[in-house]
Structure 1
Amino acid sequence: MPRTAVLFVERATPATLTDFKDSLANVLLSVEDGWSMEFRTYRTQIKNYPGDSSAKLMYSLNFSFERELSVMVKGQTALLLSSDAAAGALSADPRVQRLVDSDCSTGFPESFDNLLSSKLSNMWEQRQVLRGDAGESFRTMGYLVRCINVFSSTGFKGLAIQVEQDAGDDEAQLQDRIDEVKELLRGISITEFKVSSDRLTSSATKHSPNDYLCNLAHQYVRVMES
């Protein structure tokens, strides 16, 4: 399971991605597949909801390189959800059939974002959608770098850079990778950026395959919402 980190350059321009890509030329081994992402922010509409302002927020993230999966993040908890219709198609389970017969279900999975907007809109209001398209991926020695320009409905928001180190590397090696990317950014005169390699406390000791995507989503929340 790879370890990850996310860097976010808010004071960037769309051309910063090209500059950063050029700075990778000396360490580049290969160019990998393109990718995209979607980041949604929700705020509870429940009055007297316990906790501070951050407790009232929830996030959903979708990555094209994990096309059938999405992640919901709330505080230190992440929930991995599947939208694989083949896996969730109408089954022989009589409970599912009863829900279908009573018009409570189609028998097929529905994205959680759709569920929030259609069934739970009185509890959670969508506040913002950030999208990145035409992202690029680069294989370097020992790790993968993904970078993408992120936009909202009002325009450009910044450059997101995702670092994925090879499975088996330890925390110290991940920090070395992050430091290398920081140095590349400084080489193109980018000195202000946010970084997160944080891992969810709820998954810190489990080491399940789901940890990778949940921790990655948590890192995006940390750098784009803090």
Structure 2
Amino acid sequence: MITSAVFLVQDASTNSITTLHDRLATEIPKMLGRWSFELKIFKANNQSAPQRDNSDGFLYDLAVDYDPTKSVTLVNKTAIVTTTDVPGSLAQAGCSNGSPDTLGQILQLKLQSLWTLRQVLKGDNGNGYELRGGEFVIRAINVFLHGNFKNFIVLIEHHSNSKSNKTRELSIQKIESLVEELELPKGRLCTDTLSDGADYLSNVIAQLVQAFQT
């Protein structure tokens, strides 16, 4: 079971990632290499699709390069994970051309009358670390909007063999303790989840949205 959380650093700069790298060096981490992500934010076209009372009118689409065959879309606190990894048997049977569009691409190319792309938040050249024998994974990255620095975030994962709700609570406590031990700068830890059975990417997008909305 992977329990995730997103830590948004307050008053960050483009050098914050270097400061964190130096602090993590004392943990003698296993380097996982560079990573990036892209979070697209769409706004509903009210004329084409009148909003429900419980809707905020936004749709979010996330892609991360360390899981390149998947993307996750969030709307009204409901997430759906789509994949471009099509079984060869389906392509051979003519059910797929072998390279399907992601949901984000479909929204931009075919559903423009319903959803308008408003913003694209990008994280490039982030650093990934594995700590304490694989118990924790940390992914740190600078976030840019229209090419300008916007935020610095740290995605923290705790890995456990158990899958119970109590395990998740304990994992969050361990993540909170790790944040204190690493003496991360002042910030906010976002731990939103969509449901008890939500998958990893669905929880990550919920936590990113929680972080960027504050």
The DSSP-based 3-state class of the residue aligned with 1:137 is: strand
Alpha carbons 2:122, 2:144 under 8 Å: kept: yes
The DSSP-based 3-state class of the residue aligned with 2:66 is: helix
Partner of 2:201: 213
Q: 1:50 aligns with which of 46, 49, 52?
A: 52
- The count of corresponding residues between Structure 1 and Structure 2 is 205
Question: Percent identity among equivalent residues?
Answer: 27
Indicate whether 1:146 and 2:145 are aligned: no
Q: TM-score, normalised by structure 2?
A: 0.85
Greater shift, 33-42 or 169-178, is seen at: 169-178
Distance 1:121 1:136, change over 3 A: same
**Pairwise CA RMSD:** 2.3
Q: Which amino acid aligns with 1:123?
A: L
Indicate whether 1:110 and 2:91 are aligned: no
Alpha carbons 1:136, 1:147 under 8 Å: kept: yes
Distance 1:166 1:46, change over 3 A: same
Q: Which amino acid aligns with 1:50?
A: R
Deviation per CA, 1:197-217, whole angstroms, max 9, x where unpaired? Answer: 22112xx1x37xxx1111112
Q: Which amino acid aligns with 1:199?
A: T
* Per-residue deviation, 1:218: 1.3
* Per-residue deviation, 1:33: 2.2
Q: Quote the Cα distance in structure 1 between the aligned partners of 2:116 and 2:207.
A: 22
List aligned pairs for 1:25-174, cutoff 5 A.
25-47=25-47, 48-51=50-53, 55-84=56-85, 90-92=91-93, 96=95, 108-141=99-132, 142-168=135-161, 170=167, 171-174=169-172
Greater shift, 121-130 or 145-154, is seen at: 145-154
The DSSP-based 3-state class of the residue aligned with 2:22 is: helix
Q: Quote the Cα distance in structure 2 between the aligned partners of 1:159 and 1:11.
A: 9
Greater shift, 170-179 or 27-36, is seen at: 170-179
